[in-house]
């Protein structure tokens, strides 16, 4: 089975250095950092790696457990969602100020969560001479680990403690199931769509946007294959749904795409294509996942014989690269064309796994180069010697040239389009890598 990457949430009261630590782990300035409480109001997450383990790290806003200010209350709901989403929690405190009453209240919240906690005492910039971290034993969360997020001292020990508390990495097993992520903005009908596919109400459906909270794997058999549908959420009772938590759908979508072979991007056909729709499609493509565009709620759209073509044309005007992604028009309510997506999933999965013989690759490359030679670089011609398909899922071609870093983007797109004209790869991202030819000895 394909398992989602674990998630690590960094929580604490305002202005203890959570975003600085987040940036330190990533090795880049990804989060906005200011010496003002409350700067981080929304989620920020990124994929990180330490000691060979990959995980998502989540930056959160400052947690104030008792303030009834609207902003503080919204941040509190978001932080609680981050705690629920995570496998390990980094509780960050301020070593200069010592234990505060708010730290004790947050510690109690974390104990109730049942999640493993790493207690990181930040702002100890004169390590190893400073000993203020020992005061935090009183929080009852285990050994306090001193760290200076500004200088990086102690961050390795904190990361080692995180890795030690992550769930064990699953053993590699052969899994011939196809994983399909059903992604899209809130309330476009993802759960209704899966229920229609399965012919039963396996997922709770609500008209309230954002009711789906956790990822749920739903398997089925089709034409001898096991298809595992990953709804970007498992739904909860309406009473447990709180406003303001939809922003975590981005992390859930990311984790679902990470596991998937093919993604079904559901759009609400009754509305114009949203920027967020295109962002999700782009993320699927960048991840190397197969992509199928599903225009749902098609039964509600007033139609002529040109409506579908006009919709596709508009979609591809917004994002020209989507010309390679198939579009299907469905209605989860009536069942219109819903089951046809299964055949499309198998087709796209097969395209994504195609392997082209090397001699055929080089024949096509030679034809393309003869039709349109590469440009010059610093007065010298860029020469393409040969090419081969190095990987499948997604199809990845390595092209050997004398100036691998000088091949312009427009020429790479020309080669890529030439490959697609010959081989299709419908619904599958196509990657080109340029490398220098090895010197002969």
For 189-230, the pLDDT digits (tens) are: 887 888 888 775 444 444 444 433 344 577 888 888 888 887
7-165: CATH topology is Rossmann fold (3.40.50)
Give residue-wise pLDDT tens across range 161-179: 999 999 987 665 556 889 9
**Do 163 and 187 contact (CB within 8 A), yes or no?**
no
**pLDDT tens readout for residues 135-165:** 999 999 999 999 999 999 999 999 999 999 9
Residue 47: predicted pLDDT: 83
- Overall CATH class of domain 178-352: alpha beta
Average of pLDDT values for 47-54?
A: 89
More confident residue, 345 or 79: 345
User: Which pLDDT score is estimated for 324?
Assistant: 93
**Between the CA of residue 234 and those of 134, 194, 209, 213, 249, what are the distances in Å?**
41, 12, 13, 5, 11
57-66, 108-117, 338-347, 404-413: range with lowest mean pLDDT: 57-66
Q: From CA 389, how far away is CA 401, in angstroms rounded?
A: 15
The reported pLDDT for the residue numbered 206 is 40
Q: What is the pLDDT of residue 28?
A: 60
Q: Say how far apart CA 364 and CA 377 lie, in whole Å.
A: 23
Confidence at residue 37, expressed as pLDDT on a 0 to 100 scale: 41
Mean pLDDT of all residues belonging to the chain: 84
Topology agreement, domain 178-352 and domain 358-436: no
Half-sphere exposure of 160 toward its Cβ, with a 13 Å CA cutoff? 7
Number of C-beta neighbours around residue 197 at 10 A: 24
Given a contact cutoff of 8 angstroms between Cβ atoms, the answer to whether 188 and 249 are in contact is: no
How much of the chain, in percent, has pLDDT values that exceed 70? 82
Domain extents in the chain: 7-165, 178-352, 358-436
Domain 358-436 is of which CATH architecture?
2-Layer Sandwich (3.30)
* pTM of the full structure: 0.73
């Amino acid at each position: 089975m394909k398992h989602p990457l674990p998630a690590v949430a960094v929580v604490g009261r305002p202005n203890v250095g959570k975003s600085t630590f987040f940036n330190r782990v990533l090795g880049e300035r990804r989060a906005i950092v200011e010496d003002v409480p409350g700067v981080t109001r929304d989620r920020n997450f990124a994929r990180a790696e330490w000691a060979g383990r990959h995980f998502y790290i989540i930056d959160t806003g400052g947690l104030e457990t008792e303030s009834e200010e609207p902003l503080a209350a919204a941040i509190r709901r978001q932080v609680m969602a981050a705690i629920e989403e995570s496998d390990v929690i980094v509780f960050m405190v301020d070593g200069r100020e010592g234990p505060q009453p708010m730290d004790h209240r947050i510690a109690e919240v974390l104990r109730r969560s049942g999640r493993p906690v790493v207690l990181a005492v930040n702002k100890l910039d004169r390590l190893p001479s400073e000993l203020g971290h020992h005061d935090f034993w009183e929080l009852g969360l285990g050994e306090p680990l001193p760290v200076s997020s500004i200088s990086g001292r102690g961050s390795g020990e904190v990361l080692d403690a995180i890795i030690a508390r992550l769930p064990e990495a699953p053993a590699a097993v052969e899994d011939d199931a196809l994983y399909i992520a059903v992604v899209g903005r809130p309330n476009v009908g993802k759960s209704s769509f899966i229920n229609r596919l399965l012919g039963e109400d396996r997922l709770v459906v609500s008209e309230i946007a954002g009711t789906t909270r956790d990822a749920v794997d739903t398997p089925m058999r089709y034409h001898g294959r096991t298809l595992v549908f990953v709804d970007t959420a498992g739904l909860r009772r309406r009473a447990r749904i709180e406003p303001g938590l939809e922003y975590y759908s981005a992390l859930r979508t990311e984790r679902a795409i990470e596991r998937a072979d093919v993604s079904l991007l559901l759009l609400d056909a009754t509305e114009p294509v949203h920027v967020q729709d295109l962002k999700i499609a782009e993320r699927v493509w960048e991840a190397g996942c197969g992509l199928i565009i599903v225009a749902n709620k098609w039964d509600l759209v007033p139609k002529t014989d040109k409506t579908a073509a006009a919709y596709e044309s508009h979609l591809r005007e917004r994002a020209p690269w989507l010309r390679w992604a198939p579009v299907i028009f469905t209605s989860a309510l009536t069942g219109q064309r819903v089951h046809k997506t299964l055949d499309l999933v198998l087709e796209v999965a097969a395209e994504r796994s195609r392997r082209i013989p090397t001699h055929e690759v080089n024949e096509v490359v030679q034809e393309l180069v003869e039709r349109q030679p590469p440009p010059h670089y610093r007065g010298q011609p860029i020469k393409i010697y040969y090419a081969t398909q190095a990987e499948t899922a997604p199809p990845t071609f390595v092209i050997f040239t004398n100036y691998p870093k000088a091949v312009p983007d427009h020429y790479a797109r020309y080669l890529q389009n030439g490959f697609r004209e010959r081989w299709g790869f419908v619904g599958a991202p196509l990657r080109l890598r340029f490398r220098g030819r090895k010197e002969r000895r």
